[in-house]
C-alpha cells in the first residue's frame, strides 16, 4: 500500500486522537478494583502499623564478619532466597539473588570517600538492602505495577504480576533487585527452607520487602531480630517517640545516594556512641 | 470414471481413518474415573471435632466453583491492600488469607485434594511454582 504524506498525517492524527481518548478513559476509570473490600477482609489485629517505616543501621555495632553473616543468613533463610554457588564454593555471581548483603564503603556511599579517610572505615563491610525510597525509580518504571508503594512507605513487590522485564533493576540506583535467571528452588536447601513463605519462580525480580509479612503478624524484620544488640533499629520515622526517629534526630546519620532524590528510608550511623 | 491405483488409495484411506479414529475406539466403554477428594486430614478431623462439622472458608458448592476467583482476590488483598483476614460469608468466621499457611494447613493432602480435580480437568495452575506444597507421605495407591 502506498501512502502520501497527507494520508499518513491524517491517519496519525486520528490515531493520536483515539489514543488520547483512551488515556482520558483510563484516567477517569480506576484500572484496578479490589475484588474484596472491608468488611469482608481486614488487616491482622496484631499487625504493626506505621505511617512511614524506616530503618537505622549502626555499623559500629557489627564487630565481626559473623555478626553480618548472621543478619544476612537470617533474612535469606526466612525468605527462601536461593544461594547459588560455584563448584569451588564461591558465590555464583551470574545467578546470585540478594535481599541484604555487604558492600565496601566506596560502593555504599560513593563520592564521599577521600584519600585520607580512616582505613578502618574504608575497609569495613556495610550492610545494604532495599532503601524503600520515598520516590522509588523502580516503581516509576514498572510497566505492570508489580512493584508499588504501600501506604506505610514500603516498596512492595507483587511476584504474581512481575513479567520479568527487569526495568526496575536498571532503574534502581542501589542494585537492590535480583532476577531469577533459573529456578531458585535448585539453590534452596530443603532443610532450612521456610515452609511458611513462598519461593520465587524463574523469570521474576525480587528484593527486600522490609518483612511486610512479619510486620503484619506483629514481628520485627528478621534482620533486625538477628542483629547484635543496638545495631539495627526499625520503626515509624513519622512517630517522634520511635527509636529510629530519636536516633535520626539526635545524631548524624547518612543515607545512600540522597543526591538522587529517591529519599531512602535506611539511615546509617557510622560513629560509635551508644543509643540503645 | 476410473480410479488409478484405486486399491492402494483405498487401503491408504482405510489406514488413515483407522489411525485418526483410534482414540475414539480405544476409549470406548472406558468410564473416566471421577476425581475423588479426600477431606480427612488430621487438621480437618480436629476441626470437625471442635465445631461438629466439616466446613471450609465458604460453602462446598461455592468453593468448588469459585475457589480460583477467591484465591485471586485473596492474593491481591494480601499483597496490595495489606489485609490478612477473611470474614466468611457463610459462617462469619475469620480466616487467615494464605495458601501455604491457610488452605494447605487443612488440606495438607495436595495430591488427594488439589491434584485430583486439576488432573481430571487437565488444568495446571502455577500456584506451586512458588508456593511450597506440604510434604506428603507417599500413600499406598490402591
> Does residue A129 sit in helix, strand or coil?
strand
For chain A, which residues make up each domain, given as ranges?
A: 64-219
Q: What is the pLDDT of residue B141?
A: 44
Angle B35-B39-B40 (CA atoms, 0-180°, nearest 5)? 130
| A161 phi, psi to nearest 5 deg | -100, -15
Given a contact cutoff of 8 angstroms between Cβ atoms, the answer to whether A59 and A124 are in contact is yes
pLDDT in tens, B87-130: 999 999 999 999 999 999 999 999 999 999 998 888 999 999 99
pLDDT in tens, B50-83: 999 999 999 999 999 999 999 999 999 999 999 9
**Among candidates B74, B75, B76, which has minimal Cα distance to B86?**
B74
Residue in A38, A43, A200 closest to B84 by CB:
A43
Q: Is the pLDDT of residue A9 over 80?
A: yes
Q: Which CATH class is domain A64-219?
A: alpha beta
Question: What is the value of ipTM here, to two decimals?
Answer: 0.81
pLDDT in tens, A107-142: 999 998 898 988 888 889 999 999 999 999 999 999
Element (DSSP H or E) covering residue A235: strand A232-236
Contacts 24+ apart (CB under 8 A), A183-186: A184/A80, A184/A81, A184/A82, A184/A97, A185/A82, A186/A82, A186/A84
Domain assignment present for B21: no
> Does residue A103 sit in helix, strand or coil?
strand
Domain assignment present for B137: no
Element (DSSP H or E) covering residue B87: strand B85-87
Contacts of B83 in chain A (CB under 8 A): 36, 38, 41-43
Bridge partner residues of A178 (DSSP): A206
Q: Give the Å distances, CA to CA, from A137 to A147, A203, A211, A260.
A: 10, 20, 20, 10
- Asked if A148 and B80 come within 8 Å (Cβ–Cβ), the reply is yes
Domain assignment present for B69: yes
Q: Is the pLDDT of residue A232 over 50?
A: yes
pLDDT in tens, A240-265: 999 999 999 999 999 999 999 999 99
Interface test with A, best of B57, B124, B131, B132 (most A CBs within 10 A): B132
- Give the Cα separation of A81 and B97 in Å (integer): 23
Residues contacting residue B141 through CB under 8 Å, at least 6 positions apart: none
Q: Which three cell numbers stand for residue B29?
A: 466403554
- Closest alpha carbon within chain A to B97: A41
Q: Which three cell numbers stand for residue B34?
A: 471421577
Distance from CA of A52 to the nearest CA of B (A): 14
**Could you tell me the residue range of the domain that residue B87 belongs to?**
59-129
Q: Chain A: which residues have CB within 8 Å of chain B?
A: 34-36, 38-45, 47, 80, 148, 150-152, 156, 158-160, 193, 195-201, 212, 216-217
Across chain A, mean pLDDT equals 91
Provide the domain count of chain B: 1
Q: Give the Å distances, CA to CA, from A128 to A65, A179, A265, B135.
A: 14, 17, 12, 35
- Give the Cα separation of A163 and A147 in Å (integer): 11
Entry pTM: 0.82
Domain assignment present for B3: no
Region at A211 (left for phi over 0; alpha for psi -120 to 50; beta for the rest): left
Amino acid at each position: 500500500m502506498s501512502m502520501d504524506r497527507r494520508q499518513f498525517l491524517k491517519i496519525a492524527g486520528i490515531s493520536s486522537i483515539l489514543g488520547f481518548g483512551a488515556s482520558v478513559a483510563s484516567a477517569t476509570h480506576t484500572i484496578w478494583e479490589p475484588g474484596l473490600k472491608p468488611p469482608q477482609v481486614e488487616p491482622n489485629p496484631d499487625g504493626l502499623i506505621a505511617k512511614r517505616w524506616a530503618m537505622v543501621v549502626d555499623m559500629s555495632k557489627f564487630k565481626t564478619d559473623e555478626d553480618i553473616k548472621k543478619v544476612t543468613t537470617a533474612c535469606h533463610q526466612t525468605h527462601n532466597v536461593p544461594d547459588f554457588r560455584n563448584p569451588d564454593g564461591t558465590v555464583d555471581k551470574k545467578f546470585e539473588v540478594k535481599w541484604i548483603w555487604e558492600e565496601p564503603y566506596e560502593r555504599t556511599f560513593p563520592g564521599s570517600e577521600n584519600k585520607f579517610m580512616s582505613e578502618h572505615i574504608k575497609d569495613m563491610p556495610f550492610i545494604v538492602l532495599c532503601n524503600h525510597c520515598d520516590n522509588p525509580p523502580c516503581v516509576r518504571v514498572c510497566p505492570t505495577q508489580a512493584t508499588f508503594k504501600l501506604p506505610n512507605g514500603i516498596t512492595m513487590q507483587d511476584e504474581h504480576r512481575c513479567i520479568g522485564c527487569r526495568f526496575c533493576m536498571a532503574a534502581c540506583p542501589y542494585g537492590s533487585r535480583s532476577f531469577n535467571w533459573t529456578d531458585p528452588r535448585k539453590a534452596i536447601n530443603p532443610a532450612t527452607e521456610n515452609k511458611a513463605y513462598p519461593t520465587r519462580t524463574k523469570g521474576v525480580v525480587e528484593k527486600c520487602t522490609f518483612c511486610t509479612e512479619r510486620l503484619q503478624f506483629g514481628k520485627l524484620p528478621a534482620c533486625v531480630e538477628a542483629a547484635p544488640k543496638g545495631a539495627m533499629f526499625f520503626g515509624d520515622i513519622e512517630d517522634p517517640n520511635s527509636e529510629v526517629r530519636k536516633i535520626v534526630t539526635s545524631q548524624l546519620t547518612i543515607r545512600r545516594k540522597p543526591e538522587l532524590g529517591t529519599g531512602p528510608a535506611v539511615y546509617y550511623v557510622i560513629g560509635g556512641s551508644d543509643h540503645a | 470414471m476410473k480410479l488409478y491405483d484405486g486399491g492402494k488409495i483405498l487401503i491408504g484411506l482405510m489406514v488413515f481413518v483407522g489411525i485418526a479414529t483410534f482414540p475414539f475406539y480405544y476409549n470406548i466403554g472406558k468410564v473416566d474415573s471421577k476425581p475423588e477428594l479426600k477431606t480427612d486430614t488430621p487438621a480437618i478431623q480436629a476441626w470437625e471435632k471442635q465445631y461438629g462439622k466439616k466446613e471450609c472458608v465458604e460453602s462446598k458448592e461455592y468453593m468448588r466453583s469459585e475457589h480460583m476467583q477467591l484465591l485471586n482476590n485473596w492474593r491481591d488483598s494480601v499483597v496490595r491492600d495489606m489485609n490478612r483476614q477473611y470474614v466468611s460469608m457463610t459462617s462469619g468466621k475469620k480466616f487467615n488469607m494464605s495458601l501455604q499457611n491457610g488452605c494447605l494447613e487443612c488440606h495438607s493432602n495436595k495430591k488427594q485434594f488439589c491434584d485430583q480435580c486439576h488432573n481430571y480437568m487437565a488444568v495446571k495452575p502455577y500456584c506451586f511454582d512458588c508456593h511450597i506444597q506440604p510434604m506428603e507421605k507417599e500413600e499406598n495407591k490402591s
